[in-house]
């Protein structure tokens, strides 16, 4: 999903359903991850859509030693310009009192 398609999806949700919550979260780990989410009521229950944008991994450097008991360290090199985007859908489960990820097959 592209950022443009995400904006169109959010606008359609606002027109058709009651939006309960909408926010953006920024995490500094893994090169800087931005998560936009929206929670709305639908005919199947409460749904949470997350749009996750994170930098593309350009390189992975592994530092290790052949000595017994030594540690292995992995360093990632992230892109400053390129970002990858994904969308994840969750449905509220009253029994677990938590969000449960929806499978892609349920959208077909």
Indicate whether 108 pLDDT > 80: no
Task: Give domain status of residue 82, yes or no.
Answer: yes
Q: Extract the tokens encoding 91.
A: 């449905």
Q: Tens digits of per-residue pLDDT, 70-90?
A: 888 888 898 888 999 999 999
Find residue 89's DSSP bridge partners.
Answer: 49
Task: Give domain status of residue 108, yes or no.
Answer: no
Task: Give domain status of residue 84, yes or no.
Answer: yes
Among candidate residues 77, 85, 65, 93, the one with its CA nearest the CA of residue 5: 85
Q: Tens digits of per-residue pLDDT, 17-67?
A: 999 999 999 998 888 899 999 999 988 889 999 999 999 999 999 888 878
Q: Extract the tokens encoding 12.
A: 């359609």
- Give the per-residue pLDDT at 95: 87
pTM of the model: 0.78
Task: Give domain status of residue 107, yes or no.
Answer: no
Domain of residue 20, residue span: 3-101
Looking at the structure of the chain, the number of domains it has is 1
Task: Give domain status of residue 20, yes or no.
Answer: yes
Task: Give domain status of residue 106, yes or no.
Answer: no
* Owner of token pair 């969308």: 87
């Amino acid at each position: 999903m592209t950022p443009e398609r995400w904006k169109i999806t959010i606008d359609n949700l606002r027109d058709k359903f009651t939006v309960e919550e909408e926010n953006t979260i920024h995490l500094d780990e893994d090169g800087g991850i931005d998560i936009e989410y929206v929670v709305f009521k639908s005919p199947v229950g409460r749904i949470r859509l997350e749009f996750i944008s994170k930098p593309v991994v350009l390189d992975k450097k592994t530092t290790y030693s052949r000595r017994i008991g030594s540690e292995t360290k992995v360093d990632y090199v992230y892109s400053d310009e390129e970002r990858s985007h994904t969308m994840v859908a969750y449905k509220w489960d009253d029994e677990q009192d938590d969000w449960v990820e929806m499978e892609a097959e349920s959208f077909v």
